[in-house]
Structure 1
Amino acid sequence: MQKEFTRPLEEPIDSDSNVFSVLQDRVHRKGDLPLIQYRSKQGWCTMTAKEVQDKVVDLSKGLIARGIKPGDSVAIISHTRWEWTVLDLAIMSIGAVTVPVYETDSPAQIRRILNDSHVVMAFLEDEEMKTKVDLVRSQCAYLDDVYVISRGALTTMTAYGNGVSEEDFQSRVAAVRGDDLATIVYTSGSTGSPKGIELSHGNIIFTIRSGIQAVPDICLGPDRRLLLCLPLAHAFARCLQYFAIGTDLVLGLTGSIKNLLQDMQTFKPTFILAVPRVFEKIFNAASQKAGTGTRGRIFLDAVKVARQWSRIQQEGGSVPMALRAKHVMYTGTVYEPIQEALGGNVQYGISGGAPLDDGIAHFFNGIGIPLLEGYGMTETMGPVAVNPTEGYRIGTIGLPMPGITVAIDEEGELCIKGPDVCLGYHNHPEITTRQIRDGWLMTGDLGSIDDQGFIQLTGRRKEIIITAGGKNISPAVLETAVQSSPVISQCMVIGDRRPFIAALITLNLDEANRWLQSEGAEPVGSMTEAVANPIIRTEVERAVDAANAQVSQAESIRRFRILDEDFTQEDGLLTPTYKPRRKDVMERYRDLIDKEIYTGTSTDSPRLPVR
């Protein structure tokens, strides 16, 4: 290894216990206080820690009654909701294995996962999910029981458990140890076919306890509240679910990102976890609300002041008096209203899943809501690095979690070693041998580590573009910058073995119309109209030019094409964390790329018309 850095534990962590013990500890500490809150038609409903535990025990007994044995796989296919959480805990508590499936997965994807992990029982959210499973149920060799949550599945399972004694339940719980398999989580497959990651109870326990040592002021103490909107099938979101149970946090669960701002205003979180696209949407919503004219100019200046203040703060310098005065002025007129729109109590945001644009990070930092960028993998059950609340550094993914060693190998790849590293890849020993070497998990990400242990990512090995001229380019910087535009949904940079760099760009029709109206222009009625709209085209040009200003000429986007459709999870072009599935996108638009972007061109050709 070129360089290694270990962040020591502040106190030892005993990982030889099971996930149910984390819930038991919460009940012992704060049993009568809220643990979970969820949205209903009447507003936010509350479940105490004791009520959650009672439901978990009842469901566990039902699973035992239905013949679920230690090691059996049970799937959950549902949006984020409280039933997901208690089912997950119930399955793992008795030594069975939770297999989460994204609610957006196709029937074919569901069949593959259920067969690969030998799922014997599945819990489905509603009739839509049941229809998907019904299409392939006859092809699922191990699947016996299917229960639908909206049809009263939890009530049914609880009734089954009435005949199971407390002693039988406790004996099953006591037999579950830290090195036992807890869950098989399938990767989103952004760079290939999804693989099942085997994670143990000990992996989960360590991540919870290490997280507490990393950011205690976020999760310990009175009135700590986390709002979770990401799908619980994703390892990062699910890890934060366990983290909330193991700390003092009240866990707010919402199944839709569409109502996030309204949910934040009523739930009033003290910190939020989201992917960068969510923070970009919040910023764009504030910008569009300001509109044009005097209010728009004031907002733009307030953004500039916030970013300037943040950069000086990050450099450890002294803020000039004039800038300080403007910052104080905008705090009351611009910054505090944005904070109130987020519920008024947000102290920190944690961003992960994709690179965070520096401009967005500096803006939020400048208005008093630091976005602590972190990093994790499905293979580590969530975060392995996060910025500290004191001394955080924008542009890095922070320090390794306590008890974890990070390193950069001879080829510049980030490697991880620690008790959070998974057991292996399900049914793929050859991948396990290749990806986990002498205890080191090979992440596939390129980066550097400074002397204080802060990690900076520079690209991803599988996504590095090597142009025909031999230039190595990481697309992440360009894509992140372009996507900061309020009208742009996705940007995917291309150019591997090609003469120059190009990009495929998609629009968000709703956001584009809001932006048009904020600019005093008429909205458009369709995606086709949006692509042809000269105002939108000019904004896309601006975003591309701004991104190109961050890189050398050889790395810049020479041509781009705005597509008349967005990438979606439903069409298989987008992962649940809003990252394009590069291989699938390339296949879908192969003719456009070959015949329109790269036909009869040279590296000096002007950009294609934006249409």
Structure 2
Amino acid sequence: MREFSLPALYEVPTDGNLTDLIRRNAAQHPDVAVMSRKVAGAWTDVTAVQFLAEVRAAAKGLIAAGIRPGDRVGLMSRTRYEWVLLDFAIWSAGAVTVPVYETSSAEQVQWILGNSGAVAVVVESAAHSAAVESVRGSLPELRHVWQLDAGAVAELEASGAAVTDEVVDERSSSAKADDPATIVYTSGTTGRPKGCVLTHRAFFAECGNVVERLKPLFRTGECSVLLFLPAAHVFGRLVEVASVMAPIKLGCVPDIKNLTDELASFRPTLVLGVPRVFEKVYNSARAKAQADGKGKIFDKAAGTAIAWSQALATPSGPSIGLRLKHKVFDKLVFSKLRAVLGGRGEYAISGGAPLGERLGHFFRGIGFTVLEGYGLTESCAATAFNPWDRQKIGTVGQPLPGSVVRIADDGEVLLHGEHIFSGYWDNEAATAEALADGWFHTGDIGTLDEDGYLAITGRKKEIIVTAGGKNVAPAVIEDRIRAHALVAECMVVGDGRPFVGALVTVDEDFLVRWAADNGKPAGSSAAALREDPQLLAEIQRAVDDGNAAVSKAESVRKFRILATQFTEEAGHITPSLKLKRNVVAKDFADEIESLYRG
């Protein structure tokens, strides 16, 4: 057993809550731009005083609607200024925010709002409203549905006009440090998402120590960050609260289709993203170079950047020849890549999935260091991250100051600290299993080096994490696909991949009948029909049914019908018919690769 800790850099308030931050900012930094929002296509700054006033006005509307201290309020929207505004307004009304991914299915909306006992929900669009209405009959506690695109903020401000500032101030101080700030639902191996209860104390400990350890990246009045991650994700929440805590300017982007243009116009000093974002920057740049006939130059530049970064970790550093090559390529290639990322920043923070050493060295080599971190919803986002001044590429960094990382005898990563969640909402059994002996059991396998840098080497639990950082619980969709008569087994794949795929085996007994009904030759096997258009269409219907139970990010984009079955004899399944995922992934590696080619 091995463990490592660092002393806390931030003193967590003994009491109070996150609304203290916006009142402090208004008092100490009244004219500093703490937010920026798009107005008529242009970024418009919002000062600390203005933001506090808008939060109070929205909170008054919530109070007037009967929202009480401790009530749960859902928030279902893309990442936009109003998300942050309403998050703080919900807290200012003394309530608890329950994020819902805007891509969630009606079933997921029903479960999250129902399980949390939400009394109100703010949605973004008419489609979101329709999703809520379709399940509202099973949500007896839900009293209010407001829609952002239909003027929800203005409606709240108008309805709360009679509520005084004194009432809001009283409500704002009603939640204490150990009271829930939010319930964030995360995928679980049992299928149903579990609600992680994160307190105000957890956010103070998390964001306070992140800001202090990365202080040069959070300079008030100088630094800015563009949030394009889902605000419903705990990583997005870290960005939101840490920006307010510093404070630095925060901008929100709801659609990443035009991310390059948004980065160019906002020009952040700090970028936070998942590996897929940085992969896309690299791949897009390489593809453009090849299209322009400059592919060889780009590849040489990339090789130079990686060599440069690797040399930085050696006692002698880069050689004179490497310095000269790096200087040339900085003018020809690297400066243009930094411009794509906004042109002002030197650092990024990556989380949600493994970045990989190649990309880590490449970006450090072009002068845009990506600091990789690691965390879970249960750890209020980052529980380890690379410090700006002592990065170790290939690791996820050192523990959050004030916390402890322990490696158990079986290699599992255990966590302890004030940033750890207080438990799963209304799920004592799952809480007891996850929080044993005062330690949170992550289910991940890792190692600690002599300097306390953590490396994640595997996963005990079955959660799949895509390259975009989305957590996917395989059981939900697998069970639905497996319900089709033609499907014998289904295994979802996609760990570290750009999207979710599936391997499907066909029920041999039912295939005989299906083949006869559809005019196929007698005795046709799965191997003979695996590319048959009619069979593919039938399996696609099973996949479509499975996709209806999950969000778009969790849905199966491509599948492969296998020529053989998963058998106990081959070691693919246990006697109780549970999949041995590692064995299947190894035996059918070529089939999995075929899903992602091209």
Match of 2:237 in 1: 238
In structure 1, stretches of 5+ residues that fail to align are 465-474, 484-489, 493-500, 510-560
- Structure 1 position 25, deviation (Å): 1.5
Is the 2:104–2:551 contact (alpha carbons within 8 Å) kept by the matching residues of 1?
no
Amino acid at match of 1:108: E
Report Cα offsets for 1:10-42 as digits up to 9, x if no partner: 353325220100111222222212111123443
Q: Distance in 1 between matches of 2:8 and 2:301?
A: 41
Match of 2:358 in 1: 359
Match of 2:261 in 1: 262
Match of 1:389 in 2: 388
Q: TM-score, normalised by structure 1?
A: 0.79
Match of 1:211 in 2: 210
Q: Distance in 1 between matches of 2:232 and 2:589?
A: 44
Is the 1:177–1:201 contact (alpha carbons within 8 Å) kept by the matching residues of 2?
yes
Mean alpha-carbon deviation: is it higher for 402-411 or for 167-176? 167-176
Is the 1:37–1:250 contact (alpha carbons within 8 Å) kept by the matching residues of 2?
yes
**Aligned-partner SS, 1:258:** helix
Report Cα offsets for 1:491-540 as digits up to 9, x if no partner: x9xxxxxxxx997799989xxxxxxxxxxxxxxxxxxxxxxxxxxxxxxx
**Aligned-partner SS, 1:394:** coil
Match of 2:219 in 1: 220
**Aligned-partner SS, 1:37:** strand
- Structure 1 position 59, deviation (Å): 1.3
Is the 1:372–1:388 contact (alpha carbons within 8 Å) kept by the matching residues of 2?
yes
1:261-280 to 2 correspondence within 5 Å? Answer: 261-280=260-279
Q: Distance in 2 between matches of 1:282 and 1:574?
A: 28
Structure 2 residue 440 is matched with structure 1 residue 441: yes
1:101-112 to 2 correspondence within 5 Å? Answer: 101-112=100-111
What RMSD, in angstroms, separates the aligned Cα atoms of the two structures? 3.4
In structure 2, do the counterparts of structure 1 residues 505 and 62 end up closer, same or farther at CA, with 3 Å as the change threshold? closer
Match of 2:94 in 1: 95
Q: Distance in 2 between matches of 1:196 and 1:230?
A: 20
Amino acid at match of 2:72: S
- Structure 1 position 142, deviation (Å): 0.9
Q: How high is the sequence identity, in percent, across the aligned residues? A: 34
Structure 2 residue 265 is matched with structure 1 residue 295: no
- Structure 1 position 438, deviation (Å): 2.5
Q: Distance in 1 between matches of 2:159 and 2:589?
A: 69
Is the 2:104–2:550 contact (alpha carbons within 8 Å) kept by the matching residues of 1?
no
Is the 1:39–1:254 contact (alpha carbons within 8 Å) kept by the matching residues of 2?
no
Q: Distance in 2 between matches of 1:115 and 1:205?
A: 28
User: Which of these residues, 560, 572, 592, is aligned with residue 562 of structure 2?
Assistant: 592
- Structure 1 position 315, deviation (Å): 3.5
Q: Distance in 1 between matches of 2:265 and 2:288?
A: 20
- Structure 1 position 595, deviation (Å): 5.2
Match of 1:497 in 2: none
Q: Distance in 2 between matches of 1:251 and 1:112?
A: 31
**Aligned-partner SS, 2:375:** strand
Amino acid at match of 2:547: D
- Structure 1 position 314, deviation (Å): 2.5
In structure 2, do the counterparts of structure 1 residues 84 and 293 end up closer, same or farther at CA, with 3 Å as the change threshold? closer
1:181-580 to 2 correspondence within 5 Å? Answer: 181-189=180-188, 192-291=191-290, 295-463=294-462, 571=547
In structure 2, do the counterparts of structure 1 residues 124 and 463 end up closer, same or farther at CA, with 3 Å as the change threshold? closer
Q: Distance in 2 between matches of 1:418 and 1:112?
A: 30
Amino acid at match of 2:265: T
Q: TM-score, normalised by structure 2?
A: 0.80
In structure 2, do the counterparts of structure 1 residues 155 and 568 end up closer, same or farther at CA, with 3 Å as the change threshold? farther
Report Cα offsets for 1:426-480 as digits up to 9, x if no partner: 111011111012221111111011121111110111249xxxxxxxxxx99xx97
- Structure 1 position 594, deviation (Å): 4.4
Is the 1:19–1:205 contact (alpha carbons within 8 Å) kept by the matching residues of 2?
yes
Match of 1:58 in 2: 57
In structure 2, do the counterparts of structure 1 residues 290 and 129 end up closer, same or farther at CA, with 3 Å as the change threshold? same
In structure 2, do the counterparts of structure 1 residues 153 and 605 end up closer, same or farther at CA, with 3 Å as the change threshold? closer
**Aligned-partner SS, 1:162:** coil
In structure 2, do the counterparts of structure 1 residues 66 and 606 end up closer, same or farther at CA, with 3 Å as the change threshold? closer
In structure 2, do the counterparts of structure 1 residues 128 and 18 end up closer, same or farther at CA, with 3 Å as the change threshold? same
Q: Distance in 1 between matches of 2:111 and 2:298?
A: 50
Is the 2:105–2:549 contact (alpha carbons within 8 Å) kept by the matching residues of 1?
no
Q: Distance in 2 between matches of 1:311 and 1:432?
A: 43
Match of 1:495 in 2: none
In structure 2, do the counterparts of structure 1 residues 606 and 6 end up closer, same or farther at CA, with 3 Å as the change threshold? closer
Is the 1:25–1:246 contact (alpha carbons within 8 Å) kept by the matching residues of 2?
no
**Aligned-partner SS, 2:82:** helix
In structure 2, stretches of 5+ residues that fail to align are 475-490, 500-530, 573-583
- Structure 1 position 192, deviation (Å): 3.8
Match of 2:112 in 1: 113
Match of 1:524 in 2: none
Is the 2:81–2:252 contact (alpha carbons within 8 Å) kept by the matching residues of 1?
yes
